[in-house]
Amino acid sequence: MGKIVFVIGGARSGKSKFAMELAKKEAKEVVYIATTLAQDEEMKLRIKKHIKSRPKDWKTIEEPLDLPRAIRNIKGKGKVVLIDCITLYISNVLLKGYSEKKKPREINRLNDWILEEAGKMVSAINASPHIFIIVSNEVGMSIVPENRLARLFRDIHGETNQIISRNAESVYMVVAGIPTKIK
């Protein structure tokens, strides 16, 4: 059965760095699942910086839209799988299915589908023999967003974080580079 270590925090909080340190301590063989889409020059530079910060012997899988499948396809035993990050994964999946023209009922179906995908991801992890370190942002500690898409993103993200944390063996909150174990 897979084990989940969940690392959450705000933007630029040090959560990815902490997750990488955990991965280095856990095992020799690390699989890094990157969920980022390189949509502009700034994001391409961020991706290059992240790649340079990773050890060269880590295997990288780029999967912006189907984490359950990517997880099921990892073969072998005893690996550490670092997923960075759930925030961008949710954003990618949400934007693929979202339209301002959609009616509330359709938006509710999209919401439910994304949460089902989060459940499938956890099921795939539970069926695997690996340790998973999952990175995510905490986006619900601010004001209520003013537009529908931003509110939907915040709500789905918060519910997804809850699904992951319920199934995690341990949860760390990282603030200003300082990790605190909260579960």
**Is 50 designated active site?**
yes
> What amino acid is encoded at 119 in this protein?
G
Angle between helices 104-126 and 86-97 (to 10 degrees): 140
- Sign of the CA dihedral with 115 first, then 120, 123, and 125 last: negative
* Six-digit token string for 129: 């023999």
Q: In what order do the strands lie in the sheet with 80-84?
A: 59-62, 30-34, 80-84, 131-137, 3-9, 170-175, 178-181
In angstroms, rounded to a whole number, what is the distance separating the alpha carbons of residues 159 and 144?
15
Which of 17, 24, 50, 54 is the catalytic position? 50
* Six-digit token string for 69: 């499948």
* Residues marked as catalytic: 50
